[in-house]
Structure 1
């Protein structure tokens, strides 16, 4: 793979830390050694994993002469926050289409990411019902902007296309170099699995580098079968884009769907426990929608003995802590 041939903006200038979590590991019985990759510390307003994807997506937008970015997400979307933040840095207009996946959940006065949308000067917010065709909704916004003489560029939800997923192929390479430099052998990696770009990119990067590190995704919305199909489809397309010659087996994509609870963004007791436990043992904040539920899944796998005793397990922290402030009543 030669990722240098792809346009990027250089938002990721230094590797994010890999930290040991001794107190957290001890609280879970001490049989598994847990490490965390701190992509919550990436640049961009309040950090998070989408910066890696946007590094490539916004480069493509600028290559195509865009002066305006349109993207979509849920009402507390971390992806929308970071897309807006990089658009601001680049001097681009940004319009958001928010899907009200839980009826009545959108409030213009809400805290969390919604507050940050307005603080950073979003050009417009369009709220649509849950289940809407989000690409169609973004195309409607784009049509209106084109009529005004703008040159809009649409970034899909989560920046989860082959362009965005390339950012996590690069993250896998970064991680492997760090592990080499640290002299640290990792036996398993756990990642949140939502719009699929992060999960797919890590799988492609690990496979493309013959790392031999299994990757498990913890679902935040869909069933196991649906999520694995979504991730694998993007794995195949991304592998082709970046030049992975050997086909990647379907079995390489593994998802766990037992930690979604009643639905996307809806709190669960296990998520609350995970957020509180990591905060109280390691002073690291998770978010209630993605990293919190993913950590809840990893905790459950540790307790079930899914990882061999003495294993070193690396959790990818995708960020999102600003959303916590819209969920204060839950905690």
Structure 2
């Protein structure tokens, strides 16, 4: 099936711009630019909007009344899924990793404004309980006579990955329109893996010479390269492509997670402040700050070669800045 034959609902404000980062480029010795997918707009913006265009088309076609998904406390995906559910008259249920908070800040505040039902899971038991808990919500919806739809963590599925297959096509058209050559690297944070899987498939079609680089922002029991290769192959099969991918085809950097998922890191916080000071671009401590920390370190060490053209995909997440105000202002004198 061709990409344009897959059902898709327009949600994002697309195409998003590509912005050069000249001061960071000069400091790092690479040509660094950013795909501003924090500007996708819908539901507060972010990369998950692209996935939801395909996932919500499927949900609408199935006559769904209840959408169930999961993520961390400051999940951009959960927030945007709640917004998408409300747009199409559905009830959102969010099963989030973390204990019930004392204060609803950042994405949690937006989840509340969107009227999501939020179910908190103990973080230590999350990975054992998440699938049974989402299924329990689906079973309860069916018992009420409602049709449920479970969206996996981060929208990470072959169908969700179509959002970033399409994003690479969008980028190839933007670059071609300005006579700009394809970048040497395209880099993005890796949490659930769906974005990177779509990028791998998209680059195989439109930018075969571009190397896809993922910066992990969380640990995983199954290595990311294995998970993403499976998802990329499922996406390629959905598109009836012959190409297949192995874990060895993927480059994932795992040294920038810091203390853990959704826990700010010293390197990530430094990258947030450096990028804000140098370019006026806002990053977040969960995803993009850690990913930029990885790009900075890799460029400084020569693991991204000097003179390379590097495109960073900004996946959004600005609301997640606010709950971490104390960590991000530790440099402020009393």
Name the CA distance, whole Å, in 2 between partners of 1:184 and 1:312: 11
TM-superposed CA distance for 1:240, in Å, is 0.8
SS of 2:219's equivalent in the other structure is coil
- Map Cα deviations across residues 1-31 of structure 1 (whole Å, 9 max, x no partner): 72111011111352110110002222x34x1
- Could you tell me which residue of structure 1 aligns to residue 145 of structure 2? 149
Query: Does 271-280 or 307-316 show the bigger shift?
Result: 307-316
Post-superposition offset of 1:65: 1.1
Counterpart in the other structure of 1:318: 315
Displacement of 1:174 in angstroms is 0.8
Conservation of the 8 A alpha-carbon contact between 1:80 and 1:96: yes
Determine the C-alpha separation between the residues in 2 that align with 1:223 and 1:119. 31
Q: Size of the alignment, in residue pairs?
A: 324
Q: What's the counterpart of residue 68 of structure 1?
A: 66
RMSD of aligned residue pairs (Cα, Å): 1.6
* Contact kept in structure 2, 1:228 and 1:255, CA below 8 Å: yes
Partner residue in 1 for 2:170? 174
Aligned residue for 2:106? 112
Pairing partner for 1:248 from 237, 245, 250: 245
Aligned mates of 2:222, 2:70 — CA distance in 1: 24
Q: Distance in 1 between matches of 2:88 and 2:208?
A: 35
What SS is found at the alignment partner of 1:229?
A: helix
Instruction: State yes or no: 1:136 paired with 2:132.
Output: yes
CA distance in 2, matches of 1:191, 1:240: 23
1:254-277 deviation per Cα after TM superposition (whole angstroms, max 9, x unaligned): 100000112111111110011111
Whole-Å Cα distance in 1 between the matches of residues 129 and 110 of structure 2?
Answer: 25
Q: 1:36 to 1:210 in 2, by over 3 A?
A: closer
Runs (4 or more) in structure 1 with deviation over 6 Å come to none
The secondary structure found in structure 2 opposite 1:72 is: strand
User: CA shift at 1:224, angstroms?
Assistant: 10
* Long gaps (5+) in structure 2: 329-334
1:247: how far off? 2.4
**CA distance in structure 2 between the aligned counterparts of 1:6 and 1:13, rounded to whole angstroms:** 19
Please list every run of 5 or more consecutive structure 1 residues that lacks an aligned counterpart in the other structure.
Answer: none
CA contact (8 A) 2:172 2:207 kept: no
Instruction: Assess if the C-alpha contact under 8 Å between 1:99 and 1:132 holds in 2.
Output: no
CA deviation after TM superposition for structure 1 residue 225, in Å: 7.1
Q: Is the 8 A contact 2:12 2:42 kept in 1?
A: no
> Cα offset for 1:288?
0.7
Distance in 2, matches of 1:187 and 1:209, equals 13
**Distance in 1 between the 2:152 and 2:222 partners?**
22
Q: Distance in 2 between matches of 1:167 and 1:135?
A: 24
What's 2:212 paired with?
215
- 1:199 pairs, out of 192, 196, 199, with 196
State the 1:208 CA deviation.
2.4
Aligned to 1:53: 51
